[in-house]
Amino acid sequence: MFEKINFAGLLFGAVGWFLLVYVIRGFFTVNQNERVVKTSFGRAQRLTTTTLDNPMAEYLRPDERERYKYPQLQVIQPGGPYFKWPWEKIYKVSIATETVNLAFDAEDINANKGGTELDAVTKDQLNIGLVGQLRFRVSDQNLYAYIFGVKRPLVHVLGYFVSILRQKIASFEAPEHEAGTPQVHVGAPANAGDLSAAAGVSINDLRKNLRLLNEDMDKGCMSSTARYGIVLDASLITGIDPPPDVESALAAINTAHNSVGAEVSLAQASADQKLVQSRRAVEIQTLNSQAEVEPLVQLAQQLADLKKNGGSGVLNAYVRNVKLSLFSKAKNAFVEVKP
């Protein structure tokens, strides 16, 4: 015979299981480096604004604004405990800054020489290898794009960054001054930029302008926040390696340029030194001439004052006294005798 079912115990167990799974486990906390988005029946809690109302949208091109028009979400800040109902789901996102190798491929860890070197082509068709790092973090101002906009946002952002980097490498040219001469950087010999530009070797320009290239990449990737909800804090390209078969040729070219640049620097320094010495000599002679002329000018001024105040008799007396003083110092005197 069948045993009598204890409906009270079954009901009590069901209620206990419900409380354990959906009530007690419904409480959660948020760490300091985390942000949480809650959905109800699959729909995230939204605000009335969109990404186009945020300053991040100014970096989007006009044709991209409607494509990346994401709603702003209600974000749960660090703290707690918070509670969610069984029909609600939470998405925890870390906003801590992360660092990844420039050549890292999230889809294939063996790509780019095992994630150690990224290849690119310069404007003169040289295959080069790039080494560096990329710092990024998730933006809590556009969590919709990061959580719901793309399936794998990190893959999209890295591909976006690499495509921009390769485009800039392929079209990079050394900056020029207003006068039209290539910029000479600190630590480079005088006119070294002119020589490198004349040779047309783009890898030299890239190596001498790594800081400028990194700054251009930071500016070119500012739209990643509005696109994918990821902020690219900084890109640091630390090395550019040419193909092995052209390394020796580039070394010879750079050695020749450095040698010529050193000779030009020495010639320029010698010319500047001679010019300074000539200016100093002219200044010294000018001062000596002024020192000789000044007493005569003062004497003339004194004689003019004597004549003005005492008449011609006083001036004659002064001249006579001067003559007597000279006669007292002279050993011989020649006096004109009138016939």
Q: What percent of the chain has pLDDT over 70?
A: 81
Contact 188, 142 (CB under 8 A): no
pLDDT of 185:
42
pLDDT of 138:
92
When computed from its CA atoms, the radius of gyration of the chain, rounded to whole angstroms, is 43
Spatial distance between the Cα atoms of 301 and 254, rounded to a whole number of angstroms: 69
- Would you give the DSSP letter of residue 107? S
Please enumerate, as own/partner, the contacts of 100-105 that have beta carbons within 8 Å and a separation of 24 or more: 100/133, 100/134, 100/136, 100/158, 101/132, 101/133, 101/134, 102/130, 102/131, 102/132, 102/133, 102/134, 102/235, 102/237, 103/130, 103/131, 104/158, 105/158
Q: Which of 147, 135, 321 is nearest to 231 (CA)?
A: 135
pLDDT of 91:
92
Spatial distance between the Cα atoms of 151 and 243, rounded to a whole number of angstroms: 36
Contact 46, 54 (CB under 8 A): no
User: C-alpha distances in angstroms, 95 versus 77, 136, 143, 145, 272?
Assistant: 11, 9, 10, 14, 57
Q: Please indicate, yes or no, whether the overall pTM of this predicted structure exceeds 0.75.
A: no
What one-character-per-residue DSSP string does 245-272 give? HHHHHHHHHHHHHHHHHHHHHHHHHHHH
C-alpha angle 89/94/99, rounded to 5°? 150
- Phi, psi torsion values for 318, nearest 5 degrees: -65, -45
307: tokens are 């004549």
pLDDT of 159:
87
Kindly list the domain boundaries of the chain, sorted by start residue.
Answer: 275-326
pLDDT of 223:
87
Pairing assessment for the beta strands 127-138 and 118-121 based on DSSP bridges: antiparallel
Q: What percent of the chain has pLDDT over 90?
A: 11
Spatial distance between the Cα atoms of 138 and 11, rounded to a whole number of angstroms: 46
pLDDT in tens, 123-149: 878 888 888 888 899 998 999 999 998
pLDDT in tens, 156-201: 888 888 888 888 888 887 776 444 444 444 334 434 444 444 344 5
Q: Running along the chain, 339 residues long, what does each successive block of 10 average in pLDDT? A: 60 70 77 92 90 90 89 90 86 90 83 84 83 89 90 85 88 63 41 42 75 85 89 84 67 70 82 85 84 79 74 71 74 72
3-state secondary structure of 127: strand
User: C-alpha distances in angstroms, 223 versus 54, 139, 212, 228?
Assistant: 12, 12, 19, 9
- Would you give the DSSP letter of residue 59? G
Over the chain, what is the mean pLDDT?
Answer: 79
Pairing assessment for the beta strands 230-241 and 34-40 based on DSSP bridges: unpaired
Return the residue matching tokens 């200044």.
Answer: 283
